[in-house]
Amino acid sequence: MLLNAKKHLEARVVLATPAPVTHRTAEENLGLGYLAAVLRGAGHSVAVVDGWLEGMTVAELAERISRHDAEIVGFACYRSNMERAMETLRLVRPHGRRPFSVAGGYGPTFHTADFLDAGFDAVVRGEGEVPLRMLVEHVLRADPPLSAIPGLSFRDEDGTVRHNTTPAPKLPMDALPDPERDTLALTLARRSLVHIQTARGCQASCTFCSIVAFERVGGGATWRQRSIGRIVDELERLYERGARHFKVIDDSLIEPPRDAEWCEELAAEIARRGIHPRLRGSIRADRVSEEVIEPLVRAGFFSFSCGIENFSSSALRRMAKRADVGQNLAALDTFLRHGLYVQAGHILFDDQTTLSELEDNYAMMRRYVWTISKGIFTEMYAAAGTNFTRKLLRRGELDIDQDVLGNTRYAVRDEVVRVVYDVLKRWHKAHAAVYDKAIDPLSAPKALSSEELRLLHGLAVELRAVDLDFFRRLLDLAAVASSAVTLRRDAEDLLRADTEATLPWYADFEARLNRAYQEVGLVYDADPNPFLC
């Protein structure tokens, strides 16, 4: 209803996002596109400034924002670019006009006080389309009052922080306009995949996941979808503008009521339009079946992200995963039969990891070495708003220290496993730069030909096999260690010896990887991995 309201006075708005601190290369921010579409539909002037896609420093982003002399500046923030958004705002203000500033997204939703303390005038908690539209009207007319805007946090005139308790509405997906595509040319030039959204949210309840926590902020259903007609309409329009490779950014593509019949209808509608998109999506292992994947391949899917997370039943139960080990293996076997590239999300360590669980995971990592992995070392993050973090807090097991992304630290309970955790993490840190570069074109992924994908995938698999060799030797030491103290001594010796022995191999591998990048025509310009602190 709000999206069709009578037009008001025109406001000048800048919607911006700084580059996050990340080891991934830049992708478009579709959230900015949706917000721009809503505001332009209401008659406002909107400039979109994507600091990540444009490779801007904080100072450059602030200068660009200031150049627009806007009344309102909105920042879309992950947790990983919060600090850069705050610094950008500090640099914008000395340029003259003091625009009304608002932040939204995952970072502001779960770290609201940090943004208000940094000088932001308001924070949107949850989805932003309705609150931002109302906020622009407030800035123009002082009506509605800030206290009437759902999902908004702000400071009163006396400095008191107010959190409006009415949640930001989650509009039906088909009620939203198609997102604006101001950054399409930048996306295509970088050979990044063009983003499209067919649904928002996820119906699972994994303990570590911020997605469900974010959806619960707005109340109501934790997953909702667009109609197939609207999805393919947008694909067709983007196809006409030169886009061929697409990343479906849904947190979970196939949730009830979507099923095999829905997948068949999607494939049929894409075929009817005469377009041939290359698609990458995310799917839960318990939603994978031959009847689902076969039509999705016909629709154009060549790659999936699948949150396997673990190959041990006890670990999956702790994570509250819907899929069991058997479903994980069946999903990977189905992907393999169809020749799909799969980023198999993995969480190797949490606070209760056992040596037996590590053995289970090693065996299946070796069996499915062809999957795309972020690395041999992975751990569960204690992110704000998640059930895992609340559990650790109740037990008094959270350290007050945080990494650069705000994930609070905790200890692995088992002393022997803690040694494996520490040594494996140090091994991976020593090779993280080349690892991140090797998988980026596959995990992001990039708009590559079949031949280019095979080249880079072969290198990533070769790299992972070397990591698994070290993991095996480390587990062998742990299996016979008489104590954590003796394991620490032997593992330190192994780490030194293997690091030195593999130096020539890694140097040769990096040279081959660089040649592959040159052959394919890609540039890797991401930050060092911020998760390995």
pLDDT in tens, the chain (533 residues): 344 444 447 999 999 999 999 889 999 999 999 999 999 999 999 999 999 999 999 999 999 999 998 999 999 998 889 999 999 999 997 766 689 999 999 999 999 999 999 999 999 999 999 999 999 999 999 999 999 999 999 999 888 999 999 999 999 999 999 999 999 999 999 999 999 999 999 998 888 888 888 888 888 899 999 999 999 999 999 999 999 999 999 999 999 999 999 999 999 999 999 999 999 999 999 999 999 999 999 999 999 999 999 999 999 999 999 999 999 999 999 999 999 999 998 999 999 999 999 999 999 999 999 999 888 899 988 877 788 888 888 888 877 555 555 666 788 999 999 999 999 999 999 999 999 999 999 998 899 999 999 999 999 999 999 999 999 999 999 999 999 999 999 999 999 999 999 999 999 999 999 999 999 999 999 888 877 76
Q: What are phi and psi of 415, to 5 degrees?
A: -65, -40
Rounded distance, CA 70 to CA 33, Å?
A: 18
Under DSSP, the state recorded for 28 is -
Residue 63, exposed/middle/buried by CB under 10 A (0-12, 13-18, 19+)? middle
pLDDT at residue 374 in the model: 83
Rounded distance, CA 181 to CA 187, Å?
A: 10
Under DSSP, the state recorded for 212 is H
Rounded distance, CA 384 to CA 155, Å?
A: 22
Please, are residues 45 and 10 in contact by the beta-carbon 8 Å criterion?
Answer: yes
pLDDT at residue 210 in the model: 82
Listed residue (374, 262, 362) closest to 307, CA to CA? 374
Domain-wise residue ranges, the chain: 6-154, 191-347, 395-533
Rounded distance, CA 63 to CA 59, Å?
A: 6
Place of tokens 């067919």: 198
Structure tokens at 403: 């990494």
Instruction: Pick 191-347's CATH classification: 3.40.50.1000, 3.30.1200.10, 3.20.20.70, 3.40.50.720.
Output: 3.20.20.70
Helices (H), 246-307: 260-273, 290-299
pLDDT at residue 4 in the model: 45
Instruction: Pick 6-154's CATH classification: 3.30.1650.10, 1.10.3720.10, 3.40.1280.10, 3.40.50.280.
Output: 3.40.50.280
Rounded distance, CA 341 to CA 503, Å?
A: 29
Rounded distance, CA 374 to CA 388, Å?
A: 21
Cα dist from 383 to 221, 224, 283, 411, 467, whole Å: 22, 24, 22, 15, 27
Instruction: With residue 184 as reference, give the H or E element that holds it.
Output: helix 184-189
Chain centroid to CA 47 = 24
pLDDT at residue 3 in the model: 47
